[in-house]
Amino acid sequence: DQQVKQNSPSLSVQEGRISILNCDYTNSMFDYFLWYKKYPAEGPTFLISISSIKDKNEDGRFTVFLNKSAKHLSLHIVPSQPGDSAVYFCAASSYNTDKLIFGTGTRLQVFP
Amino acid sequence: KAGVTQTPRYLIKTRGQQVTLSCSPISGHRSVSWYQQTPGQGLQFLFEYFSETQRNKGNFPGRFSGRQFSNSRSEMNVSTLELGDSALYLCASSREGSTDTQYFGPGTRLTVL
């Protein structure tokens, strides 16, 4: 049972435009959410996180939005750059388990 | 500060064999987690070790085991390999656990023939 879902396996966006990556979760106990970015032949790198007490967190070009009632989070990248082309994983954890559950990833391609 | 290192980077084994993968965390990090990445399944949590004790475990069969040494280095062992075990195995270290920022190693690509 996939508790964290990324329903779009791939996304293609033009350079300079907004990239929106989506993630849905089923476990209402999740209270901490993260986004990781992965390039080929490298391990994932942490991008941005959000606690369930917030609905938005911003870091430079990256903004994560959390809609708890819909059990949905999204990552916005503005403006998108070719170097953003990678696989993006969302992950969630709950305070009582302290283990990260990852989604299946979305491959983002930013073209010139 | 040196990053997380994993050895070996690539492995080819045959069904029925066993394999041991190694992970050296960032200095000062006490938590090491292991993940399996396969196409279509994303990153699946295997287990987490903290101060030489397994603190969390994912839904994998007992063929998958691990341990952590006093210097926080960790090993993962898979016995009686199956074709479906072919995957990228990633370890991640953090100071205290999953909700800290985890730093991932480059992974070990295991191919089972």
The pLDDT tens digits for A69-105 are 999 999 999 999 999 999 999 999 887 666 788 999 9
Question: Is A105 in CB contact (< 8 Å) with chain B?
Answer: yes
Residue A37: CB atoms within 10 Å: 21
Average pLDDT by stretches of 10, chain B with 113 residues = 90 97 95 89 88 90 96 96 95 81 91 96
pLDDT at A94: 82
Q: Which chain B residues are Cβ-neighbours of A100 within 8 angstroms?
A: 33, 45, 98, 102
Query: What is the arithmetic mean of pLDDT over A27-38?
Result: 92
Q: Are A87 and A105 in contact (CB under 8 A)?
A: yes
| pLDDT band, residue A40 (cuts 50/70/90) | confident
- Percent pLDDT > 90 in chain A is 80
Question: Is A93 in CB contact (< 8 Å) with chain B?
Answer: yes
Q: Taken in order B91, B94, B98, B100, is the CA torsion positive or negative?
A: negative
pLDDT at A17: 98
pLDDT at B41: 76
Distance from CA of B103 to the nearest CA of A (A): 7
At B85, the amino acid letter reads: D
Spell out the residues 6+ positions from residue B50 whose beta carbon is closer than 8 angstroms to its own. B30, B31, B32, B68, B96, B97
pLDDT at B2: 77
* Yes or no, beta carbons of B106 and A105 under 8 Å apart: no
Distance from CA of B1 to the nearest CA of A (A): 16
* Yes or no, beta carbons of B106 and A42 under 8 Å apart: yes
Distance from CA of B105 to the nearest CA of A (A): 5
Would you give the distance in Å from CA A42 to the centre of its chain? 18
- Percent pLDDT > 70 in chain A is 96
Q: Are A22 and A88 in contact (CB under 8 A)?
A: no
pLDDT at A97: 67
The interface residues of chain B toward chain A in range 70-99, judged by CB-CB distance below 8 A, are 90, 92, 97-99
* Yes or no, beta carbons of B56 and A42 under 8 Å apart: no
pLDDT at A98: 65
Query: What is the arithmetic mean of pLDDT over A57-66?
Result: 97
Token pair in block for residue A60: 């430079």
Q: pLDDT at residue A42 above 90?
A: no
Distance from CA of A82 to the nearest CA of B (A): 22
Question: Is A102 in CB contact (< 8 Å) with chain B?
Answer: yes
pLDDT at B39: 77
Spell out the residues 6+ positions from residue B37 whose beta carbon is closer than 8 angstroms to its own. B43, B44, B87, B88, B89, B90, B107
Please count the residue pairs, one from chain A and one from chain B, whose beta carbons lie less than 8 angstroms apart: 59
Q: Are A51 and A32 in contact (CB under 8 A)?
A: yes
pLDDT at B1: 62
* Yes or no, beta carbons of B98 and A45 under 8 Å apart: no
Query: What is the arithmetic mean of pLDDT over A49-76?
Result: 96
Query: What is the arithmetic mean of pLDDT over A12-31?
Result: 95
Label the pairing between strands B10-13 and B108-112: parallel
Q: Are A91 and A43 in contact (CB under 8 A)?
A: no
Return the closest-CA partner of residue A15 out of A57, A63, A77.
Answer: A77
